Amino acid sequence: MSLFFLILLKVFPIYINVILGYLSTKYLHVKRESIAALLIYILGPIVVFSATLSVKINFAVAFLPIFLYIFCSVLAFGSLYLFKNSWSDPTGNILAFSAGTGNTGYFGIPLAIIFFPPSLADIYIFTVLTSLLYESTTGFYVTAKGNFTVAQALKKMSKLPILYAFILGIILNLVGFEIPQAISSYTAQFKGAYGILGMMMLGMGLIGLKNSDDNFDMKFISITFFMKFIFWPLSIVGFIYLDKTFFMFLNEDLYKVLFLFAIVPLAGNTVTLAVLLNAKPEKASLAVFLSTVVSVIAIPLYIFWYGGF
């Protein structure tokens, strides 16, 4: 169990940032919207551009986001089919969205920086673009089905600067452009800032969160927790076993990226879309918060079970 406690010690400081975010909003009146703007329009694009440009793209690396996008989309549509009529409000749509994604960015990137060497952390960040694409296409469709057109969804996606940073990074990567070492050392610092502020955002979102019987939807929480903490890890481990045994597309490092992608808590954007649909966002906020708390123990346990990174 010494490995478990070592992993726990590595993971726990991330949660200090959540507490700092809560305190900064409650007592210093830091605006969540200002931090969100920094993350979306400045830090996020720089982190994504730097990582995409640094990654050596080959078949195995390109396979990761393609496989994960298909997997996420299948889960979302399957969950929508099963649960869309289980509630009288759009809760079933929110559940379908959450089934196909997790907090791979604000939560996953700090974990990748902690556990992986820089080159592998860059591959993880490259893979996180799967979440962006999923949330802007399949995820948006299953949550806003019937409320928005395809054109509106594409317009929403076109406003995300991270998308353009990714495209530019891919183009420059393919033509062989490399970031000078001095600039690379500078942009590397943005990864840490992105992770810290992203986790602080979770803490800021706790302001005004209230636990009431109406918000504590046991059915919603149970299903989302099953999908995130049981179905996702077991499915990815199953795929890793199949790939090791039969397909042999990936290597051990990329298996670690896949596994980390699978064990992060519920996505914070679940709350954003609940607000959009007026589907009791407090219910979604409570579920996201509880999943983040559970992850304090769950993530070290999963990494221990995997054998460590």
- pLDDT tens, position by position, 154-213: 676 677 788 899 899 999 999 999 888 888 888 888 988 988 888 888 888 777 666 555
Handedness of CA 136, 142, 146, 150 (dihedral sign): positive
Q: What letter would DSSP give residue 222? A: H
The pair phi, psi for residue 205, each rounded to 5°, is -70, -10
Domain count, the chain: 1
Q: Which domain holds residue 23?
A: 2-306
Yes or no: say if 80 and 142 are a contact pair by the CB < 8 Å rule.
yes
Question: In a 3-state reduction of DSSP, which class is residue 114?
Answer: helix
- pLDDT tens, position by position, 166-179: 899 999 999 999 88
Average per-residue pLDDT for the chain = 87
Q: Amino acid identity of 52?
A: T
Q: Where are the alpha helices (DSSP H) in 28-57?
A: 32-38, 44-54
Q: CB-hemisphere CA count at 13 Å for 84?
A: 11
Q: What is the CATH number of the domain that holds 164?
A: 1.20.1530.20
> Is the model's pTM score more than 0.95?
no
- pLDDT tens, position by position, 4-46: 788 888 888 888 998 999 999 999 999 888 888 888 889 989 9
The pair phi, psi for residue 131, each rounded to 5°, is -65, -40
pLDDT of residue 277: 64
What's the mean pLDDT in 107-132?
91
Question: Over pLDDT 90: what percentage of the chain?
Answer: 43
290 or 269, greater pLDDT: 290
